[in-house]
Amino acid sequence: MVGLRGLAGVTYPGRHYRPAGSAPSICSKLPNMSESKATGAPAGAAQKFRNSSLLDAAQGRMPARPPVWIMRQAGRYLADYRRVRSLFPNFLDFCRSPEHVAEVTVQPVDQIGVDAAILFSDILVLLPPMGLSVEFQEKKGPVVANPLRDDAVIAALPDGDLNSELGYVFEGIRLSKKALGDRVPLIGFAGGPFTVASYMVEGGSSKELARLKALMFSRPEVFTVLIGKLASVTSAYLREQVRHGADVITIMDSWAGYLGPEAYRALVFPHTRKIIATLKAEFPHVPVVHYANGAPHLLPHFTELGADVVGLDWRVNLGDALRAYPNQIFQGNLDPCALYASPQQIAAKVKAMKAEVGGRAHVYNLGHGILPDISPDHARAFVDSVHES
């Protein structure tokens, strides 16, 4: 997930960004594709890659070498990312420029050596199609101008026209796939429904999610309507990503850890499981990754969602998780701050992770997003250490 902190202000009412004087984007009228424009293959068809290690591991096969990618790998720790970012005073204008999205999406593959690219975007692009206006403010993050405070408004939320409202995302996928060729797969993503709902109800970032949880506990039937609508829109959005070329899907329910096991199981789990089941029914060969931050207590539930891969945050003991769930493929979970250590220390930590994993298929990653002041050399040291035999 990108860009939920300290970004320049932009009001995004749901229309595509277009530099002044440019022609209208063809993305605004993209059809529901039956053929992937990225590869020319039937929509969602499996593509052959020179480096398929991530796909192999995610599907339980042992790759020639273990795969690694980094959450927020297209980010501010890279000088070339900062150069491209500086072209846009507004963060979401950046997200709505498919050519620049493709450029920064591919940068970590070229510069860090990761085994997959992840589309540069943001989980909150779903809000405008559903009638909410979001602004990213410097040092404050996302602010929703019209948060959900009325039950009738929640009941009347539109599903949105994804092909017209989010055509820039799908064009970014197409251009990223074109730039990647057959080198590595592309990961698409969306926020989990609880996490996206938190911004819709709270109006921005929150330390307690008190408004959302008050809705959940006091009027669970209204909360269920909101989560259900989000699950439906998210499912459609992710299926469109696959149709336009995404090879892997990640669901990032970053704030699920704010819930206790009973509330999560009763009120969120069924909707996330439905998203995954719908994806797998239509695209059984496309791996689905589920990740939540700060939620070790919910791991038993995450392993029952139906995701091919369960992402672990850095608070989970990797060895304990592997022993407790011998048939589950995991992703993670080096502490992001470990990349402040020397390359030699990073290599030692990776060696210890690999000893825990043993002969199992595993997707190596950090336990949360890479921090913006990490040295690219240290990120490369992490990737290289995973690849070393």
The set of catalytic residues is 72, 76, 85, 122, 199
The total of other beta-carbon atoms located within 10 Å of residue 249's CB is: 25
Between CA 161 and CA 389 the distance in angstroms is 48
Closest CA to 287 of 238, 347, 234: 238
Give the three-state DSSP class for 67: coil
Q: 269-282 and 193-202 helices cross at what angle (nearest 10)?
A: 130
Torsion-angle region of residue 6: left (phi > 0), alpha (psi -120 to 50) or beta?
left
User: For the chain, percent helix, then strand, then coil, each to nearest 5?
Assistant: 45, 10, 45
Strand partners, 189: 250
Residues 6+ apart with CB under 8 A from 270: none
DSSP code string of 97-148: -HHHHHHHHHHHHHHT--S-EE----GGGGTGGGT--EEEETTTEEEESS--
